[in-house]
Structure formats: C-alpha cells, structure tokens
Structure 1
Amino acid sequence: MLSVTLTVVLVVATLQLLLFLGSDLLDLQVNWTGEGLVGLLDQILVILIAVEVLQNLTAYLREHVVQIELVLVTALTAVARKVIVSPPGMQKDPAVLIGLGVAIVSLAAAYWLVRQSHLKRPPTRTEPATPSPDPDRLP
C-alpha cells in the first residue's frame, strides 16, 4: 500500500513538474539563470530523491533486507540537494556549511566503506562442492 501511494505521489509530482516547466517555457519573461533555474533543479532533485526512496522500499519488500548502499545514496543525494539549492543567505552561516560538509564527507566515507566491503567479499558458492577423485590425497 505504501509503495502504491508513493508511486501515485511521484506520478502527480512529475506531471506537476512537467506542467510547471511547460508553462515557464512558453513564458519568455522567465529568468532561467537565477531563481527560476534553482527552483527547477530543486523540484527535479526532490522527485529524484522520492524515486530513490521508492527504490529502497521496493528492494526491502522484495528481499526483506535493508540495502544500505541505496539508503546512503539517497541520503547523499538529499544533502547534495540542500547544498545545490541553498538560499543565498545561507552562505553567511558557517555552522550550517560546516555541518553540511561534515554530513557529505561522512556519507561519502560510509558509502565507500560499504562498497569496499562488497568488493572484497568472496563470492558465495551456489553449487554443492564436488568430492575429489582421490579421497586419501590431502590438498
């Protein structure tokens, strides 16, 4: 039920974004180099984050395991969105910038550690072991 609701919300949000974009493209007085572009990027990134949350939910419902890589990528995208579409007044507060920087570095390090642990893990055996032809011989 939750994934169906999220899918409906995503479809409606995407249609709303397309209508917003279409009306702005027809209006020649829209400033695409300032707040107009930042607003558009904000809406696109929010939809992207919602798609990633839907992907997390779907993966959990299929495998009954939380896939930490997907969660970290979603969190990294959300923090990056905050940095990309930050209002102009936020650059004056160094505490917020330091906090966002620490969050990005922490999430990136966590993602790197998870990826490294997956790369070094030996492959799982899918076939039963075959007995050796000479049982008296030690390997």
Structure 2
Amino acid sequence: MMRRFKHLFSQFLSSTSDQNFLRFIHLIENLVSKVLAIAMIVVILFAVIDLGRFLINDLQTGNDVPLLKHLIEIFGLFLNILVALEILENIAAYLRNHAIQLELVIITALTAVARKIIIYDSKEAGGDYSGLAFAILSLSISYWIVRHVNHSQPKE
C-alpha cells in the first residue's frame, strides 16, 4: 500500500513539472480571454441595441428637435460602445500576441476619460475638473512615453 502511494505521489510530482504547469496556466489564460471576448461581444451588441432603441424612441416622440435635447446622452451611449470596442481590441490583441499591449490599454483609458469629459455635468459635480485634468495629463504623458519607447526600439 505504501509503495503504491509513493508511486502515485511520484507520478503526481512528475506530471506537475514546471513545463506542464505553465502549459496549464496558458490554457486557462486562453480560455478566460475567449470567454471575456464573447462576453464583451454580447455587451457591445446590447449597447448597440440600446442606442438604437433610444434613438428610435427619441425620434418617435414628435418633438421639434428631439435629438438635440438628448445630445449629451446620445454621445455617452456612442462612447460607451467605443470604449467597449477598445476593450474587445485589447482582448483580441492579447489572444494574438499573448501579451498585454500597454499602448492599447492607455488609449482605451484615454477614450474612457474623454467620454467622461464629454458627458460631464458640471452642475451636478460642482464644476471641479481637476481630477479629470490630472487623469488626462497622466495618461497622455504615459502614452507619449510608451509610444516613444516602442517606436525607438529596433524592429525584430
């Protein structure tokens, strides 16, 4: 019995070698990335349907200028979809290259902050833009540094 246990234990240790474990991690990463991509596609489709429904309802109200009344809300819906598309692109880039592309992540963050600025209600927030300004400045500097480093390195 003890000999059998030692044999099973040694087989377990050999099957959990670093290489096998890393293959298992890679498999899980790919699976999770694909599930996230599918989930993001569903989110994007629902967001597009929501935008279409909003536009149709707004046009059917019969107001003189229905779209202008809700222009900021419409821009917010459009930009939500653009941010979701950027996130989907990040996931697709990860699946292609098996690495997170920092430049894409920063661009996605800049798009999200730009969305926040476009739909920003200064009456509700008291008109303080300092946090958003700092976020934009930080992200812009980060983007410039990453882009400069990426384009100054020789291509392989």
Q: Do both proteins adopt the same fold according to a TM-score greater than 0.5, normalized to the shorter chain?
A: yes
Counterpart mapping for 1:1-139 below 5 A: 1-29=35-63, 31-34=66-69, 36-90=70-124, 92-94=126-128, 97-124=129-156
Cα RMSD (Å) of the superposition? 1.6
How many angstroms does 1:8 deviate by?
1.4
Consecutive unaligned residues in structure 1, runs of 5 or more: 125-139
Offset from partner CA, 1:75-124 (integer Å, 9 cap, x none): 00111111110113146343xx1111010011011111111112211121
Alpha-carbon distance in 2 for matches of 1:40, 1:49: 14
Query: 1:57 & 1:49 partners in 2: Cα distance?
Result: 13
Considering fraction of residues, name the structure with more helix.
2
- 2-structure distance, mates of 1:16, 1:93: 29
Identity of aligned residues (%): 40
Unaligned 5+ residue runs, structure 2? Answer: 1-34
Structure-2 separation of matches of 1:123 and 1:62: 18
| Shift in Å, 1:33 | 3.1
Q: Secondary structure at the match of 1:111?
A: helix
Separation of aligned partners in 1, 2:47 and 2:67: 21
What TM-score, normalized to structure 2?
0.71
The one-letter code sitting in structure 2 at the alignment partner of 1:105 is L
Q: CA deviation at 1:52?
A: 0.5
Given the two structures, how large is their TM-score scaled by the length of structure 1? Answer: 0.79
